[in-house]
Chain A
Amino acid sequence: MSTEEACVVCGSNLDAEHRARCIYCGGVFHQPWSANAPVPTCGRIFAHADAQGLVFACLRCAQAMLEQRQR
């Protein structure tokens, strides 16, 4: 059994550092935390100016959420 975890968006392996968990599906995805990080950006981040909340969403869920918000 492999111990390596795959990104729920692009399917390639995740490293220990550049990752985040999606608030919607709970899956882990690539999230680069530095300018030269050798990983794609597989999610989006949302902030609430008043609540100072920070929310991570994988690209698939973020897209679905934004489409719903537009509707």
Chain B
Amino acid sequence: MLGTGTIPLIGYQEVAFGVPPSAETALADGLPPALLDLLACIGQVALQRGQPLYLVGGPVRDLLLRRPVMDIDLVTEGDAVDLARAVAQRFGGQVSAVSQFLTAKVRFPLWTVDLATARREIYPSPGALPVVQPGSIHDDLARRDFTINAIAIDLTPARWGHLLDPFGGYGDVQGRLVRILHDRSFQDDATRILRALRYEQRLGFALEAHTCYALKRDRGFLDTISGDRLRREVERVFQEPMPERVLGRAHDLGVLGSLFPGLQWGEEHRQALIRWREEGREVSPLLFLALLAYPLSLERAEALVRRLRLPRRWAEVVRHTLQAREIVARWASPPRPSQVIESLAPLRPEAVEACAILSTEQAHRQTLRAYLDTWRSLRPRLSAMDLLALGVPQGPWVGRLLAELRARVADGLLATEEEERAYVRRRLHTLKEEP
């Protein structure tokens, strides 16, 4: 006997050692039979053309994790576009989205398959787009971001289901680790920093120790990424099921501050958003932009708009958030509902929501919730047509009177349609004296 009892192996992770097992079972369990048949047929066509065919990247990772597979990404050594055309012709698909990087989509009635030529990438300088050349499947796996995304399943008939795993991705799937393929990975492409955090939080993985060290060391390389690329990565964070987890982790690792100085997702953000979700409220992707913008100064907010080259709607969210924050800060005593509506109605709802979440005054938070839940949707019972029928002249007066009615309805001064009509009739007498 070498040991007695059972000592927990603290700090140890289970690994798949040696050659990983066949993924044939994972394929059979994770994909519908008809799709498996289609992949087998594509593998057959590829074989006839002398081209190895592999399922690669995210779908392989998700198959091994027994998660739903969303995309079918295939890689072949050789011309993928020609193979796509041959496959489409043989099985009745349509080829689209042919790109300069030798990639194509084949649309079948039930599925769309992405086919790419195996390629190698060379990064001329940090943050620059890579130079792409055709290469082997090993080159193709070597250019990928993390080991869990650098696994391929062979779809060639004789090797069906064999796992190609040159970087130990299978072990990292088992050990639930996000690991870069080489030390300079984040320097080559710093958008991988945000991707690492997204995978970690979405899959419930952890950053492997050296990956975590390299991420913190290289977070300054986010400066090398263009505004458009950075914004797209930030948008992907906002579209995660729980963006706050990614943002919290990014804050803790100093990534948010490297992304843009002043961005934060501290304890205050975390607790406030938990309360917001507990109230059963919707959380839209752009709300996270508003929450990030909330503490910024006007100058920093404008710099953020420029740095991320924010499109009009995003920029509006940032600017409106600061406007809403200033409006709310000026509320000395509880404002009337009509005042709240008048000042906040022109602003985007995400901006008001951010204030309702992060305002330090409880009374303000309650007022903003009342606005979001009730006041903003209040309308007078009378319509524009009713006003015209009552004798209001066509033109700006119709809109102005509707706004007056709305304000009085919100303040509880007009409780019935008849009271609204009486108010309009009274106003008609005074209209002539007003500009």
| Residues of A near any B CB (own CB < 8 A) | 21-26, 32-35, 41, 44-51, 53-55, 61, 64-65, 68-69
| Residues of B near any A CB (own CB < 8 A) | 1-22, 162, 171, 175, 208-209
Contact between A68 and B2, CB atoms less than 8 A apart: no
Selected contact of A61 from candidates B6, B16, B18, CB within 8 Å: B6
B12 cross-chain contacts in A, Cβ below 8 A: 46-48, 53, 55
B6 cross-chain contacts in A, Cβ below 8 A: 24, 61, 64-65, 68
Contact between B22 and A35, CB atoms less than 8 A apart: yes
A-B contact pairs, 8 of them (CB 8 A): A21-B2, A24-B6, A25-B2, A34-B18, A35-B20, A35-B22, A53-B12, A65-B7
Q: Please, how many angstroms separate the alpha-carbon atoms of A41 and B16 in the complex?
A: 11
B10 cross-chain contacts in A, Cβ below 8 A: 69
The winner among A23, A24, A32, A50 for most chain B CB atoms within 10 A is: A24
Selected contact of B15 from candidates A26, A46, A51, CB within 8 Å: A46
Contact between B11 and A32, CB atoms less than 8 A apart: no
Contact between A32 and B3, CB atoms less than 8 A apart: no
Q: Please, how many angstroms separate the alpha-carbon atoms of A32 and B16 in the complex?
A: 11
Selected contact of B11 from candidates A25, A34, A50, CB within 8 Å: A50
> Of all chain A residues, which has the CB nearest B9?
A46
Q: Please, how many angstroms separate the alpha-carbon atoms of A48 and B13 in the complex?
A: 6
A55 cross-chain contacts in B, Cβ below 8 A: 9, 12
Selected contact of A35 from candidates B1, B13, B19, CB within 8 Å: B19
Selected contact of A26 from candidates B2, B16, B162, B171, CB within 8 Å: B2
Contact between B162 and A35, CB atoms less than 8 A apart: yes
B14 cross-chain contacts in A, Cβ below 8 A: 44-47
Q: Please, how many angstroms separate the alpha-carbon atoms of A69 and B10 in the complex?
A: 8
> Of all chain A residues, which has the CB nearest B208?
A49
